[in-house]
Amino acid sequence: MRSSPASSGETTAPSAISGPPAERPRARSISLLLPSFAVHDAVGHDTAGIRDALRVPGVTVRIFAASAAPGLEAEPLAAAQSSLERGDLVIYQQSTGWAEGERLLAHASGPIVVRDHGVTPGHFFAASDAALQSEVAAGERQRAALARDPRVTRFLATSPLTARELVSLGAPPERVAVVPPFSRVEELAAAVPDAGALRRLTARPADVLFVGRLAPNKGQHRIQRILSRYGDLFREVPRLRLVGKSDHRHGDYASRLRRERIELRLEGAVETVGEVTEPVLKAAYLCSRVFLCCSLHEGFCVPLVEAAWLGVPVVAAHLETVEHTLGSGGLVLPPDADDDLLAVSLHRVLADAGFRERLVEQQRESVRARFSRAAIARDLAAGLAPLHESA
Amino acid sequence: MAADEIDIEALVAELRSEATALRAAADSSPLPPLEPLAPVADPEAIDRLLALSDPREAELSSHRGRLAPAVLAVKRVVQRLLTPVLDRQMLFNQRLAAWLGQVEEEIDQELIRLVRRVTALESSLPPLVASEGISPVDVEDLEAELRGVHPATERRRYLAYFPDAAAGPVAEIGCGRGAFLALLREAGVRGFGFDPDARLIAAARDQGVDARVADPVAALAEEEPGSLGGVVCFRYFERLPLTKLMQALRLAHEKLRPGGVIVAEARNLASLIVHTRSWALDPTLRQPLHPLTLRFLVSEVGFARPEIVYSGEVEPRAVLEGAGAETELARNAARLNALLFAPEVYAIVARK
């Protein structure tokens, strides 16, 4: 695994916490709290990115998690309480319901920063198992409670949409800032693709790629439908590769996708790949011609950045977050775009090499300018700057 | 906007027009409707495996009576100490289950693809039941006109294979107008037949024979094994695809009693005149059966020592003359006669 920019000596934006001595807040220690510190996980990558951006000489940054994947640097929650009572700055990763986290926050005597990733609305989980539904409902309740909590001094929203949601839930607008999530896109760009996967995937190259867990809000069912319409309109069906883990808690969504593939006669055209390592993911991006996103809800959608960064053109159905993530460079269709229009757009990207190149260039510029580690670290510093003023 | 920047709004307007035009074209020539298929594998199986993936969900228990709380406490401590190991085990279990899910799905897809392929191949063949074996014209009448003798009357000689009325009934595959069934009745042998052509069956019934409209092979399958004294088939096997012909031969062997006889008559393709006469007359014929081929197939399903019995001599006025003399020309004429004007019909006769 590549070392983080902070430890590898790459340029890092000045930390809001370190800052000039006169501007430093009281906290010399920062505690990052999250329920699960996992690999191949957006919140996990963001947590590691925040840690690396804030960890400078004289400032201790510790990650406390209820569970952590082997090899990831995290301490058990039991050790968090004393740090919080001591007055550490707490950065709380808000993405799902977490009763233990809520209990710990009650012990915080220092400033609290909520890092908000948005909560996928409950209606997407109507067919999911009861435990997940109650987790999501708890997440919504907890998010609303934190938005109104006067102890929270800063809210760092991953996108303008999540920022607006926080304000509508009661967060004071002046305390809310948009800071895109840290991701491993630069590591992914530098990663050597897995040789075996490259061999396997180039043997059956995919025209269309989507990366994201198999879940109703990710819209894989619509992608399949568009593929079918593409077949109706152009008398050929492009090959689709769906990369992402299947979570059994999402009820029968994976089965539903499989059933619909059969009904749409797409069995031979769709390949599902579960959770993959970074080198395999790199291979999947390299072996794809277009990234199609039909998500119905996203807090940010890191795979869009990965695709654009790695030169895979993106076609997307309308979604405010997706539009924000892709910026001016993306081919995001208007809200009234039906499956036919998406299929025709897909065809344009697949068939017109010149257009594809221009799109790739435009998207790459857009995401590299805004979502490099250094750029996000600058946004983070700006988002936390008011803490200096209050210190 | 920079000069080379894509104008998304203009592009979308252009794509909309393209979509409208393509939709209109697709709607005017719609593809065949989709036929839903049920998934082959159990979609819940992997979910059930995943539900068991976390070893920590195993309930801790103790049967040590008053010591139970202490034992349980120790077990809980051990379980906590083993957290990294259990985490890893859970990860392994989940990855394994996910991998199994993918393998299952791949197999599922391959299987469905194969089923589809077979179905597509089958549907590209002419219908097997509805019109199979039905000739739009009665070619035997035409043949009678050409040769001056009706083929059905020449089949009287096959009665010799069924001398014993007590040996069991004779079933005819593709009985047509029931000419042979009528001969059997005259000989006092019980016979019945099947033919898919209702028009011919109606004519057969007019003669008072036991004839039914049915797919003859399917109807034969309904007979009791070992119940028949004979199975006959006159120039009908050539109308069946090879797989169905083999099915018919296997059924004949199964339904005949020991010692029962099969007589399968076909056009003799080893006689070149057949290609310009009886074979060419009937457009529904699909399976050329060389005498040696049919004999081989009959022996393949279990009949011992099948014989080839030729008949249907070509009328003398058609053959080359002078073949009887001891001259070179005569010998060549004889060779040509054997090649061109060999008997037009043969039958494979075999006993079970």
The predicted model gives A254-280 an average pLDDT of 86
Cβ count near B144 (within 10 Å): 15
C-alpha gyration radius of chain A: 21
* Inter-chain CB proximity B113 and A355 less than 8 Å: no
Nearest to B15 among A232, A252, A341 (CB): A341
Confidence of residue A90 (pLDDT cuts 50, 70, 90): very high
Q: A266 CA to chain B: closest CA distance, Å?
A: 10
Token pair in block for residue A109: 């005597």
> pLDDT > 70: what percent of chain B?
84
Among the listed ranges A210-219, A284-293, B338-347, which one has the minimum average pLDDT value?
A: B338-347
| A156-184 mean pLDDT | 95
Q: Is A363 helix (H, G, I), strand (E, B) or coil?
A: helix
Query: What mean pLDDT is predicted for residues A342-371?
Result: 93
Tokens of B349: 């006769």
B47 inside 8 A of chain A by CB: yes
Instruction: Report the share of chain A in percent with pLDDT over 90.
Output: 54
Question: Best interface-test mutation with A: which of B7, B15, B52 has the largest number of A CBs within 10 A?
Answer: B15
Among candidates A252, A262, A272 on the partner chain, residue whose Cβ is nearest the Cβ of B102: A272
- Considering only residues A264 and A21, tell me which one the structure prediction assigns the higher pLDDT: A264
At A341, the pLDDT band (50, 70, 90 cuts) reads very high
**Contact in structure between B238 and B267 (CB atoms under 8 Å):** yes
Q: A34: part of which helix (H) or strand (E)? A: strand A29-37
Q: What DSSP string runs through A61-72?
A: EEEEEEEE-TT-
Residue A57 has pLDDT above 80, yes or no: yes
Q: Say which residue, A15 or B297, is predicted with more confidence.
A: B297
* pLDDT tens-digit readout, A276-310: 899 999 999 998 999 999 999 988 899 999 999 99
Note whether A270 and A326 are within 8 A (CB).
Answer: no
For B110, the token pair is: 């391959």
Number of H-type helices and E-type strands within chain B: 13, 7
Query: pLDDT grade, residue B138 (50/70/90)?
Result: low
Contact criterion met (CB below 8 Å) for A107 and A81: yes
pLDDT band at B120 (very low <50, low <70, confident <90, very high): low
- What does DSSP assign to residue A335? T
- Asked whether the beta carbons of residue B34 and residue A273 sit closer than 8 angstroms, the reply is no
Instruction: Supply the DSSP string of A102-163, one letter for each residue.
Output: HHHHTT--S-EEEEE-----GGGGTTS-HHHHHHHHHHHHHHHHHHH-TTEEEEEESSHHHH
Residues in chain A within 8 Å Cβ distance of B92 = none
Residues A311-318: what's their mean pLDDT? 95
Query: Which residue(s) pair with B231 in the sheet?
Result: B171, B262
DSSP string, A264-318: TT-GGGEEEE-S--HHHHHHHHHTEEEEEE--S--SS-HHHHHHHHTT--EEE--
pLDDT number for residue A279? 92
Q: Which segment of A127-141, A342-356, B161-175 scores lowest on mean pLDDT?
A: A127-141
| Residue B33: CA count within 13 A, CB half-sphere | 2
State pLDDT tens for residues B193-248: 999 888 888 888 888 899 988 889 988 988 899 999 999 999 899 888 888 899 99
Can you give the pLDDT at residue A129? 72
Q: Residue A131 is which amino acid?
A: A
Q: Which of B16, B40, B100 to mutate to test the interface with A (most CBs of A within 10 A)?
A: B16
Residue range B139-158: average pLDDT?
Answer: 75
- Dist. CA A130–CA A201, nearest whole Å: 37
Tell me the average pLDDT across B290-297.
Answer: 92
- Using the Cβ of A123 and the Cβ atoms of chain B, whether some distance falls under 8 Å is answered with no
pLDDT band for position B271 (cuts 50, 70, 90): confident
- Do the interacting molecules here have an ipTM over 0.85? no
- CB contact burial B31-53 (16+ within 10 A = b; e otherwise): eeeeeeeebebebeebbebbeeb
Give Cβ neighbours of residue A172 (< 8 Å, ≥ 6 apart): none
Of the pLDDT bands very low, low, confident and very high (cuts 50, 70, 90), residue B184 is very high
C-alpha closest to that of A117 among A161, A71, A73, A174: A161
At B42 the pLDDT is 57
At residue B300, φ and ψ (nearest 5 deg) are: -60, -35
Q: Chain B partners of A273 at a C-beta cutoff of 8 Å?
A: 102
Q: Which of B296, B215, B204, B290 is closest to B249 using CA atoms?
A: B296
What tens digit of pLDDT does each residue of A134-143 get? 888 888 899 9
Beta bridge partners of B117: none
The average confidence (pLDDT) of chain B is: 81
Q: Say if A56 is an interface residue toward chain B (CB within 8 Å).
A: no
pLDDT at position B133, please? 56
Contact A377, A12 (CB under 8 A): yes
Straight-line distance from the first to the last Cα atom of chain B, in angstroms, rounded to the nearest whole number: 90
Smallest CA-to-CA distance from A238 within A275, A279, A266 is with A266
pLDDT score of B282 more than 80: no
Q: Which of B12, B34, B105 sits opposite A272 (nearest CB)?
A: B105
Three-state SS at B194: strand
The reply to whether residue A232 touches residue B101, judged by beta carbons under 8 angstroms, is no
Sheet strands side by side (includes A270-273): A270-273, A240-243, A206-211, A288-293, A314-316, A331-332
pLDDT of residue B134: 60
pLDDT at position B1 over 70: no
Question: pLDDT: is B169 or A329 the higher one?
Answer: B169
Across A176-181, average pLDDT: 96
Q: How confident is the model at residue A7 (pLDDT cuts 50, 70, 90)?
A: very low
CA–CA gap between residue B109 and residue A265 (Å, rounded): 11
Residue B58: the pLDDT is 77
**C-alpha span between B236 and B219 (Å, rounded):** 15
Question: pLDDT class for B191, splitting at 50, 70, 90?
Answer: very high
Using DSSP's 3-state secondary structure scheme, residue A48 falls into helix
Is the pLDDT score of A103 beyond 80?
yes
Q: From the CA of B56, how many Å to the nearest CA of chain A?
A: 13
CA torsion A185-A189-A191-A192 (nearest 10°) is 150
CB environment A85-111: b (16+ within 10 A), e (fewer) = eeebbbbbbbbbbbeebeebbeebebb
State the Cα torsion B203-B208-B210-B212 to the nearest 10°: 30
Share of chain A above pLDDT 70, in %: 91
What mean pLDDT is predicted for residues B95-121?
A: 75
- Give Cα separations from B292 to A45, A122, B220, B289 (angstroms): 76, 74, 25, 8
Looking at residue B308, what is its pLDDT? 93
Check if the beta carbon of residue A157 is closer than 8 Å to that of residue A180.
Answer: no
Q: What distance in Å separates the CA atoms of residue A180 and residue A160, rounded to the nearest whole number?
A: 9
Distance CA A391, CA A22 (A): 9
Tell me what the mean pLDDT of segment B43-51 comes to: 70
Q: Is the pLDDT assigned to residue A3 strictly greater than 70?
A: no
Does A70 reach chain B within 8 Å, measured CB to CB? yes
* pLDDT > 80? residue B300: yes
Cβ atoms of A288 and A209 closer than 8 Å? yes
CB-CB under 8 Å, A265 with B38: no
Whole-number pLDDT of residue B44: 64
Which tops the pLDDT comparison, A184 or A121? A184
| Lowest mean pLDDT across B117-126, B253-262, B300-309, B327-336 | B117-126
Tokens of B251: 């059924």
- Nearest residue on chain B to A39, judged by CA atoms? B91
Enter the tokens of residue B336.
Answer: 């040509």
What's the rounded mean pLDDT across residues B38-51?
Answer: 62
Strands A331-332 and A314-316: parallel
Give how far Cα A311 sits from Cα of A6, A343, A356, A357, Å.
26, 20, 10, 9
B214 DSSP β-pair partners: none
> pLDDT grade, residue B132 (50/70/90)?
low
Mean pLDDT across chain A: 86
Note whether B11 contacts A: Cβ–Cβ < 8 A.
yes
- For residues B235 and B297, what is the distance between their CA atoms, to the nearest angstrom? 16
Residues in A closer than 8 angstroms to B45, CB to CB, are: none
A312 interfacial to chain B (CB closer than 8 Å)? no
Determine how β-strand A331-332 pairs with β-strand B170-173. unpaired
Statement: residue B76 has pLDDT above 60: yes
Buried/exposed code over A12-30 (b: 16+ C-beta within 10 A; e: otherwise): bbebbbbbeeeebbebebb
Q: Determine the pLDDT at residue A174.
A: 95
